[in-house]
Amino acid sequence: MGSLGAAKRNPTDDLVVTQVSFGGFDVSVGAKKLTEFLELNAGVIWRCRVKKTWTPADSYPDFAVSKDSSTLSSSSAPMNRESDTGDTGAKVTVPHAFVHFAHPDAAKRAIAAAGRSDLILDSNVLRVNSGAESFTLLQRRRNVDPFKFSAAGIELGNLVSRDEFWVAWKCPSGEFVVDPFDGCCQIIFPKEVAFLRKDTKKTITVTCDFKLQFFVRDVDDIKIWKDKAPFAIAIHLSFAPLVYYRTADDDIYESVPFSLLDDDDPWIRTTDFTLSGAIGRCSIFRVLLSPRFGPKLEKAVAYLKEHRVSESLPKKFCRG
């Protein structure tokens, strides 16, 4: 007789493949062109990120080097680990793409076609790489939208008195995100970074996206000013945020308005990039927002308060 207990569930049953990495196409191929080609041959695509830049081989970021230093060599061109394009150390990478399909069956068709060498774009045979993801997480990501605030002014500093805020570092325009999906807050902004080659003393500048990330549980309290533009929210942290970067200047094509899981393009953990060590020694982020984000700000604050973050509404705006 069979067992009367419930059948044991295989944990791999929840895994599906919807994100596929593609390579082998020409450097001139953009995200929209690749999307149109793959949709004709496999199925509907929700997002395609064509990545054409990469950090130089055998190098590390040197945040102490200024942008106008004579040792810097400007490089808006992509880089490669294989062939130099000049004395600057700039290189051209083999382009690759991170593609999110709308349905796992479309991803399977793309993988199968690539295995038969049937995906040929501009006389180039596409190669694929894929990994399984949790179907539960995919569905939850689509149903839980983050609160995103674009073109936000970011200031990091400390309160030296009740009404005076000293700024140690600022970013004129970044994106502030409160994400209920993973209980994290993020500040994302572009920044030019000097990478120092280990074998030489030359450096090369690369545009990167930086991400400052902290958990909602690490927020002690928030203060909000909405009496005049711009609106401001001061976030007091109990711990320093985590710092990440990855190369920017990617070509991205999206066909859906809702949020998806992040691409497989990894964020690289790094150290405090400010010359004054502001990230490690300051505990308050002041985020300046357009008044058009008022309703969204109220929803984000309600989410924070649900997670035991205290709120205050000072009458006087802190000088900074």
How confident is the model at residue 90, as a pLDDT? Answer: 41
Q: Which residues contact 126 (CB under 8 A, 6 or more apart)?
A: 22, 23, 24, 25, 114, 119, 120
Which of these ranges, 89-93, 165-169, 255-259, 262-266, has the smallest mean pLDDT?
89-93
How confident is the model at residue 296, as a pLDDT? Answer: 97
Residue type, 45: I
Residue 302 belongs to some domain of the structure: yes
Helix axes 31-41, 104-115, angle to 10 degrees: 90
CA 190, 186, 45, 53 torsion-angle sign: positive
How confident is the model at residue 183, as a pLDDT? Answer: 96
Residue type, 189: F
| Nearest CA-CA partner of 315 in 234, 223, 184 | 223
How confident is the model at residue 186, as a pLDDT? Answer: 98
Q: Does residue 319 register a pLDDT over 80?
A: no
Q: How far apart are CA 165 and CA 155, in angstroms?
A: 10
Question: Angle 119-123-125 (CA atoms, 0-180°, nearest 5)?
Answer: 35
How confident is residue 283, by pLDDT bands cut at 50, 70 and 90?
very high
Residue 97 belongs to some domain of the structure: yes
SS3 label, residue 169: strand
Residue 208 belongs to some domain of the structure: yes
Whether this model's pTM surpasses 0.75: yes
Give the total number of structural domains in the chain.
2
Residue 100 belongs to some domain of the structure: yes
Verify that 99 and 127 share a domain, yes or no. Answer: yes
- What are the pLDDT digits (tens) for 85-127? 333 444 446 789 999 999 999 999 999 999 999 999 999 999 9
Verify that 253 and 114 share a domain, yes or no. Answer: no
89, burial (CB in 10 Å: exposed 0-12, middle 13-18, buried 19+): buried
For residue 47, the cross-strand partners are: 100, 254
Cα distances (Å, whole numbers) of residue 193 to 63, 64, 165: 7, 10, 28
**Bond into 190 cis (ω within 30):** no
CATH code for the domain in which residue 37 is found: 3.30.70.330
Verify that 163 and 241 share a domain, yes or no. Answer: yes
DSSP 8-state symbol, 62: -
> For the CA atoms of 129, 134, 138, 141, what is the dihedral angle to 10 degrees?
-120
Q: Which residues contact 297 (CB under 8 A, 6 or more apart)?
A: 147, 149, 224, 226, 231, 233, 289
- Among 57-66, 87-96, 248-257, 289-298, the range of highest mean pLDDT: 289-298
Which of these ranges, 128-137, 177-186, 207-216, has the smallest mean pLDDT?
128-137
Verify that 169 and 303 share a domain, yes or no. Answer: yes
Verify that 158 and 138 share a domain, yes or no. Answer: no
Q: How far apart are CA 241 and CA 156, in angstroms?
A: 11
What percent of the chain is modeled with pLDDT above 90? 62
SS3 label, residue 162: coil
- What are the pLDDT digits (tens) for 118-172? 999 999 999 999 877 777 888 888 889 999 999 999 999 998 887 789 999 999 9
Structure tokens at 251: 């070509």
Verify that 132 and 227 share a domain, yes or no. Answer: no
Q: How far apart are CA 138 and CA 136, in angstroms?
A: 5
Verify that 100 and 165 share a domain, yes or no. Answer: no
Range of the domain at 19: 14-54+88-143
Residue 5 belongs to some domain of the structure: no
How confident is the model at residue 79, as a pLDDT? Answer: 39
Q: How far apart are CA 79 and CA 76, in angstroms?
A: 9
SS3 label, residue 80: coil
> For the CA atoms of 115, 120, 123, 127, what is the dihedral angle to 10 degrees?
-40
Residue 113 belongs to some domain of the structure: yes
How confident is the model at residue 245, as a pLDDT? Answer: 95
